[in-house]
Structure 1
Amino acid sequence: MDDSENVINHNMQRLAEAAASTFWGYLGCEFVHIQDGVVTIALEAKPHHLNPIGMVHGGVLSSLLDTAMGIVTMTARPEEKVVTTNLNVHFVSPLYAGRLLVTAELVHQSRKMLTAQGRVTDSEGKLGTMGTGTFRVI
C-alpha cells in the first residue's frame, strides 16, 4: 500500500468515526472504498429500512445517494464545508432487504458548486436507484 492509499484509508476511518453518531450511523452505513474520486458505501438493508410492501423505502435510498455523493464532494474539497442544494433521484427497480452498494463520483466542479452522480445496486449488481446531486461550498 502506498502513502496516498494510507492517507485515504486513514481519512476514511476518521470520517467513519466522526459520522458514527450522526444520521449515517443511524441508517447503518459503512465505508467500502474511496479511491480516485469514486466512493463506495454499503448498507445492510433490514426490515426497518423497508416500506410496508417489503421494498427498501425511497427515503432510505435517497439518503444513501445523498450521503455517498456528499462524501465525494467532501473528498474533492477537504478544507471546505459542502452542503446539498439539489438531489434528483430515479427509482428504476425495487430493492429489497440485503446488502446494498452505493457508488458515487464527481461529475463537475466550479469554484462554489459541485455536481455528482450515484447508483444504488443490490449485492448482485442489479441497479435499483440512480441520481445526481448538486452541492454548494459554504
Structure 2
Amino acid sequence: MEWSEIMLKEQMSFSGNLGMKFNRIEKECVEIELEIKDTHLNYVGIVHGGVLSSLMDQAMGTLVGAIKGRLGVTTHLSVNFLHAAKVGAIKTYAYPVHETYRTMTCRAEIRDSNDELCCVATGTFRLPRE
C-alpha cells in the first residue's frame, strides 16, 4: 500500500473523526494540528486526556511510517499531562528517539496556541515482519 493511500485511510478513520490535520510529515518530525471544539472537552472544560493521548500516538505512529516506510503498532505509550489544554488550536510534534529493525521509540509533545507545553509522551512501536 502506498503512503498516500495510508494517509487517506487515516483521514477516514478515528484520526479523521477527531479532526486532525497533518501539517508536516518528515523523517525528523511529524506535526499534527487540531482545532479544539466542545466535543473534545471533558466535563471540567479542558481537552480530554484521551484526545491528547490519541494525537501523540497518531503523530508518533505516522513518524514510524515516514521513517520505516511501513506502519507499526503501539506496544507502549506513556503520557504525562503538564498543563490543561482548552479551546483553540493545539499542535502535536513527534520526534524519533531510537530504532532497531523491528521496533522504534519516539517522543511527542503537545503545545497550545500560546506555545505552552501541555503534555509529553514516549511510545514504542513494533513493526510487522516484511
Q: TM-score, normalising length from structure 2?
A: 0.91
- Is 1:99 the counterpart of 2:89? The answer is yes
For 1:14 and 1:61, the matched residues in 2 are separated by 25
For 1:12 and 1:113, the matched residues in 2 are separated by 19
Alignment size in residue pairs: 127
Q: Which residue of 1 aligns with 2:57?
A: 66
Gaps of 5+ in 2: none
1:101 maps to amino acid = K
- Select which of 105, 108, 112 maps to 1:115: 105
Kindly tell me: are residues 16 and 112 of structure 1, through their superposed partners in 2, closer, same or farther at Cα, counting changes over 3 Å? closer
Q: Which residue of 2 aligns with 1:30?
A: 21
| Structure 1 moving runs of 4+ over 2 Å | 11-18
Matches within 5 A, 1:12-27: 15-27=6-18
How many Å apart are 1:53 and its aligned residue?
0.3
How many Å apart are 1:32 and its aligned residue?
0.7
Gaps of 5+ in 1: 1-10
| Partners of 1:116 and 1:134 within 8 A in 2 | yes
What is the RMSD of the two structures over their aligned residues, measured on CA atoms?
Answer: 1.5
2:107 maps to amino acid = Q
1:74-116 deviation line (CA, Å, top 9, x unaligned): 11111x3310000000000100011010000111000111000
1:44 maps to amino acid = E
1:11-64 deviation line (CA, Å, top 9, x unaligned): 876544221210110110001112342000011110000000000000000000
- Is 1:134 the counterpart of 2:128? The answer is no
Q: TM-score, normalising length from structure 1?
A: 0.86
Give the percent of matched residue pairs that are identical in Structure 1 and Structure 2: 37
For 1:46 and 1:13, the matched residues in 2 are separated by 27
